[in-house]
Amino acid sequence: MQHRPNSRVGERVSGCQSEEVSVTRRALFRLLAPLALLAVVAGCCQVPGGRCRDWWCNGFKVGPNYSRPQSPVASEWIDYANPRVKSEEQQLSAWWTVFNDPTLNQLIETAYQQNLTLREAGARILEARAQLGIAQGNLFPQSQSAFGDYSRVKLSTNTANPPASAWFSNWDAGLTASWELDFWGRYRRAIEAADAGLDASVEDYDDVLVVLLSDVAASYVQYRTFEQRLVYARANVEIQRLSYQLADDKFKAGATTERDVQQAKQVLEQTEALIPTLEIGKRQAANRLCVLLGMPPTNLEAILGTGTGVPVAPLDVAVGVPADLIRRRPDVRRAERQVAAQSARIGLAVSDLYPHISILGTIGVEAAQFGNLFKTPGSMIGEIGPGVRWDILNYGRLVNNVRVQDARFQQLAYAYQNQVLDAGREVEDAIVLFLRSQEQSQHLDASVEAAARTVKITTEQYNEGFVDFTPVYLFQSILTQQQDQSALAQGDIALGLIAVYRALGGGWEIRLNDTVLEANAATMPQPFQELPPPEAAPNDIRFQSFLFESATSEMPRDELRKRSDGALPETTSMIGHGPGERGST
């Protein structure tokens, strides 16, 4: 007869063993958990952006800290010794007023209020601001949702252990949330990137504004230049028509040959052929102005008037020093902010190498009958606890993503440095155009005066029969060319000064202070009609007026940018940067 152990004793032994195993597991967990956490933190040493001390000192953020790339800037301008190039800094917020042209002032104001490209840039600021809000929202529980379900269930009665009731209902409702803790600075780096992106969009708006104002002034100068060239051409046509009539009369009287008549006709037709070309250029300049003003192409002669001549530029210009370009030019500041945003994205990529630590929770009610659903605490359900997700066996994808972001950073850093070089080149190009155009204009004015005197003397000699028509033909052609070149040189002086102010990044400050525009509006008529916003369906808020107001002139300064003076962080060397810092090679 076999001996059978007492079942109750066996149960007690089994229970003791289970309890012992459970206690052992809890103790083991308490022992291993700190070691696991230490191993995770020690992993900082094994990935780009590296050491635990840096992670701690960075405010519990992995990835590099940003420092502005070094930028190559000349110590002085090439023409710094020229007395017409002044090194003191000038207020450029209303640089167009140096021309003392009320019509130009009015065009600037209208373009600032109505230009669609500027409104588009303003809308990009609104987009970047919303993106920053999204990034900031990720610091809080990322998933929060309410749920509610009802189900009617039928179970099988043909099973080994059939249920007591084959049919039953189930009602439940509640809330669930998940919160990934920003243990490695993932979401704070995303906020840094979005914040730098917002700054870049503001600088982009300022750059569009700088380009817009210079384009309006340049198109206006070109319009006036074509107008002046037409005045010269039409005046020469009248002179040459009289010479042609004189040559024809002398030929009919037998006092000269037909060659004189044909020479007079040739120079007259050649000058008249110049007029349509100049009228085309004038019309095209006016059409460019219309688009810049945010209005359909129309005839601007009634608005711009006639006979005012090419705007007269001052003889000198204050350009400051080359280092001011980094602070003043919006496109340079935009390029620097893009570098800063990309630096933060490196930290974002590095954070993917670490475990994602989350807190998960659910709370709600559940019951078989709807009437019992809210009878708490009996119907209440819930759970809360931590969760860890660690992307492993990614076959180099995460590490290579860090390398991708780093390579993009290098590209933007080089682009920023190249932007600084281009900025210096543009200023130098504009300065030499402004200075040399003045010299060219002086020589051409003297040449025009001499040519006009020569034409008068030669015409008198031809009228008295001392010379044939060849000298008259020659000097009238020269006078036409010299006057046309003189008008172009006068325009180049103004265009050169406009290019200087554009290259210096002048004009964007008007969005910070509209007093200049208000003063202009008080003294000038209002010939332009405001461009209406795009049409939209009723109740469509996409194109309401507040969008365009906040995207253009009415956008407050403190919402547009955080740096009132456009200053950037102190420059630090990008070569040999330490751990936790970011630079360019």
CATH code at position 154: 2.20.200.10
121 near 114, Cβ under 8 Å?
Answer: no
* Residue 409 pLDDT > 70: yes
What's the mean pLDDT in 563-572?
36
Percent of the chain exceeding pLDDT 70 equals 78
The secondary element (H helix, E strand) that includes residue 302 is helix 301-304
Instruction: With CA atoms as reference, report the closest residue to 517 among 217, 93, 21.
Output: 93
pLDDT in tens, 482-504: 999 999 999 999 999 999 999 99
175 shares a domain with 204: no
pLDDT higher than threshold 90 for residue 11: no
Residues near 178 by Cβ (< 8 Å), separated by ≥ 6? 141, 142, 143, 358, 359, 360, 361, 387
Instruction: Quote the tokens at residue 90.
Output: 């000038």
Contact in structure between 333 and 341 (CB atoms under 8 Å): no
User: In whole angstroms, what is the distance from residue 573 CA to residue 585 CA?
Assistant: 9
**Locus of tokens 């200053």:** 567
pLDDT attached to residue 33 = 52
DSSP string, 307-364: S--SPPPPS-EE---TTHHHHH-HHHHHHHHHHHHHHHHHHHHHHTTS-EEEEEEEEE
Residues 206 and 278 in one domain: yes
Q: Looking at the structure, tell me whether residues 162 and 225 fall in a common domain.
A: no
Residue 175, domain member (yes or no): yes
Partners of 387 in the β-ladder: 358
Tell me the chain's radius of gyration from C-alpha atoms: 39
116-165 pLDDT, tens per residue?
999 999 999 999 999 999 898 888 888 889 989 999 888 888 888 888 88
State the pLDDT at residue 454.
Answer: 92
| Joined tokens for residue 114 | 């109505």
Q: Which residues contact 31 (CB under 8 A, 6 or more apart)?
A: none
Q: Is 147 inside any structural domain?
A: yes
Distances (CA, A) of 70 to 328, 490, 581: 16, 40, 14
Q: Which residue has the tokens 């920053």?
A: 132
81-104 mean pLDDT: 88
Is pLDDT at 89 greater than 90 in this prediction? Answer: no
Q: Residues 486, 448: contact at Cβ < 8 Å?
A: yes
Same domain? For 242 and 285 the reply is yes
The distance between the two most distant Cα atoms of the chain, rounded to a whole number of Å, is 162
Of the candidates 389, 408, 443, which is a domain's last residue? 389
How many folded domains does the chain comprise? 2
Q: 3-state DSSP call for residue 243?
A: helix
pLDDT of residue 570: 36
Kindly state whether residue 432 falls inside one of the protein's structural domains: no
* More confident site: 255 or 336: 336
The structure tokens listed for 205 are 């708006």
Q: Are residues 264 and 473 in contact, defined by beta-carbon separation less than 8 angstroms?
A: yes
Distances in Å between the alpha carbon of 478 and those of 78, 278, 453, 456? 35, 18, 12, 13
Average pLDDT over residues 301-321: 87
Do residues 82 and 222 both lie within one domain? yes
Mean pLDDT to the nearest integer, 340-367: 91
pLDDT for the residue 2: 42
284/379 same-domain check: no
Residue 582 lies in a domain: no
Whole-number pLDDT of residue 160: 84
What is the predicted pLDDT for the residue at 540?
39
| Final residue belonging to a domain, choices 371, 389, 407 | 389
pLDDT in tens, 171-207: 899 999 998 888 888 889 999 999 999 999 999 999 9
Could you tell me which residue, 43 or 127, shows the higher pLDDT? 127
Average pLDDT of the chain, as a whole number: 80
Express each pLDDT in 536-566 by its tens digit.
433 433 333 333 343 444 444 444 544 333 3
Q: Is the pLDDT of residue 576 over 50?
A: no
| Per-residue tokens: 313 | 């530029």
The answer, yes or no, to whether the previous bond of 377 is cis (omega within 30 of 0) is yes
Rounded mean pLDDT, 95-109: 92
| Range list of H helices, 43-168 | 52-57, 102-114, 116-137
CB atoms within 10 A of CB 23: 10
Distance between CA atoms of residues 282 and 231, nearest Å: 12
Residue 118 to residue 215: CA distance in whole angstroms: 13
* pLDDT tier at 22, thresholds 50, 70, 90: very low
- Model confidence at 30, in pLDDT bands (50, 70, 90)? low
Contact 239, 456 (CB under 8 A): no
Beta-carbon contacts of residue 483 (< 8 Å; ≥ 6 apart): 232, 236, 448, 451
Query: Residue 40: what pLDDT?
Result: 52
Report the percentage of the chain scoring pLDDT > 90.
Answer: 44
Q: Judge if 198 and 112 occupy the same domain.
A: yes
pLDDT at 256: 84
Q: Are residues 107 and 248 in the same domain?
A: yes
* Statement: residue 583 has pLDDT above 80: no
Does residue 151 sit in helix, strand or coil? strand
Is residue 198 one of the residues assigned to a domain? Answer: yes
**415 and 268 in a common domain:** yes
Helix (H, G, I), strand (E, B) or coil at 577: coil
> What pLDDT shows up at residue 196?
94
* pLDDT of residue 16 exceeding 80: no
Q: Kindly state whether residues 327 and 204 are assigned to the same domain.
A: yes
Q: Is 95 in contact with 327 (CB distance < 8 Å)? A: no
Residues 347 and 289 reside in one and the same domain: yes
Q: Is residue 71, in this structure, part of any structural domain at all?
A: yes
Fill in the amino acid letter for 303. I
**39 within domain boundaries:** no
Residues 6 or more apart in contact with residue 239 via CB below 8 angstroms: 455, 476
pLDDT of 195: 94
Q: Could you tell me the CATH number of the domain that includes residue 262?
A: 1.20.1600.10
Within a domain: 13: no
Q: Are residues 166 and 234 in the same domain?
A: no
SS3 171: strand
Q: Which tops the pLDDT comparison, 38 or 353?
A: 353
Residue matched to tokens 């809360």: 384
User: What range does the domain containing 373 cover?
Assistant: 140-181+356-389
